[in-house]
């Protein structure tokens, strides 16, 4: 069956069913909805299969419906433009004939140009932060029994954050959240695959930043769901070594939250930027969450 990373790489290796139509399997999950990062990464993989020689430089997507983990996703690619410097693709992800995700992806021919960047924040290194499993085991008795196996299972992406996820803590915070991540195993030496894995990882717990300033013990349940997701690739990315994903939420209003992230390698090079808006509503915790937004 392979490691968790092997299984994720298999999920990202799409089946081509026509020139610009692809089908993707899903990660094994007992959650009611597909993980958005998987859908975004598969959409990128589909677009990459129609572009020759140009690396991705940006992805802008909208989550339209909650995906069903038990149904394969079909990706249709629209070759909007093939230019001398930039190439653009539109990708729609479909289940049962309905769009669940829509994205525009742009590719840029490698060329020299002006170069500057902000300095990487001074934060604790990954070795100083607890693993996801260590955080989970510290509060395992407080986690619903049906979720404990999922909380402790092997993960394709090793994530170590300075601030605990909302599943581990009700403490509020307005501080930025430094998150270190890397692939949990060997990754093929293919820049397209590394970009796919960063796209996947960039959505892990990112929406949680929007609710973090408002946490309080005993508060009503909260519905959090990503509405859109954007990734800008400034420089070549490799996910087989630690990357700092520095996250914060500058605003929330009107039942929507907003989060920003910057991705650096360990030497301080700014590799990518991420932005996301999500719906954020207080709900009766006794009600079943709906996939509708």
Q: Which residues are catalytic?
A: 203, 226, 276
Report how far residue 95's alpha carbon sits from residue 280's, in angstroms, rounded to the nearest whole number. Answer: 25
Give counts: helices (H), strands (E), the chain.
6, 12
Q: Which residues contact 72 (CB under 8 A, 6 or more apart)?
A: 23, 24, 25, 26, 95
- Cα–Cα distances (Å) from 284 to 72, 169, 213, 222, 289, in that order, read 31, 19, 20, 8, 9
Q: Which residues contact 189 (CB under 8 A, 6 or more apart)?
A: none
Q: Please choose, from the candidates 170, 160, 156, 162, the residue with its C-alpha nearest in 3D space to the C-alpha of residue 133.
A: 160
**Is 226 within 8 Å of 276 (Cβ atoms)?**
yes
Helices of type H across 84-180: 132-138, 145-152
**In 3-state terms, what secondary structure has residue 287?**
coil
222, β-bridge pairs:
282
Q: Please choose, from the candidates 191, 194, 260, 209, the residue with its C-alpha nearest in 3D space to the C-alpha of residue 231.
A: 260
């Amino acid at each position: 069956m392979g490691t968790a990373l092997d299984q994720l790489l298999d999920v990202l290796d799409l089946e081509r069913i026509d020139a610009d139509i692809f089908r993707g399997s899903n990660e094994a999950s007992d959650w009611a909805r597909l993980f958005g990062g998987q859908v975004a990464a598969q959409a990128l993989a589909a677009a990459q299969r129609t572009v020759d020689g140009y690396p991705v430089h940006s992805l802008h997507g909208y989550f339209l419906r909650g995906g069903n983990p038990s149904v394969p996703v079909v990706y249709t690619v629209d070759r909007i433009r093939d230019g001398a410097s930039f190439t653009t693709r539109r990708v729609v992800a479909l289940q049962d004939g309905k769009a669940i995700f829509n994205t525009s992806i742009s590719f840029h021919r490698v060329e020299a140009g002006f170069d500057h960047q902000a300095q990487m924040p001074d934060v604790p290194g990954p070795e100083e932060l607890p693993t996801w499993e260590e955080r989970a085991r510290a509060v395992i008795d407080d986690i619903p029994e049906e979720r404990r196996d999922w909380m402790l299972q092997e993960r394709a992406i090793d994530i170590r954050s300075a601030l605990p996820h909302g599943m581990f803590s009700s403490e509020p915070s307005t501080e930025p959240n430094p998150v270190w991540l890397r692939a949990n195993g060997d990754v093929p030496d293919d820049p397209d695959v590394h970009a796919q894995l960063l796209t996947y990882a960039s959505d892990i717990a990112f929406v949680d930043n929007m609710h973090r300033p408002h946490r309080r013990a005993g508060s009503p349940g909260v519905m959090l769901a990503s509405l859109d997701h954007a990734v800008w690739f400034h420089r070549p990315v490799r996910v087989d070594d630690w990357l700092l994903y520095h996250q914060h939420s500058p605003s929330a209003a009107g039942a929507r939250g907003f989060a920003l992230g910057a991705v650096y390698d360990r030497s301080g090079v700014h590799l990518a930027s991420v932005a996301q808006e999500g719906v954020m509503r207080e709900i009766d915790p006794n009600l079943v969450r709906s996939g509708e937004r």
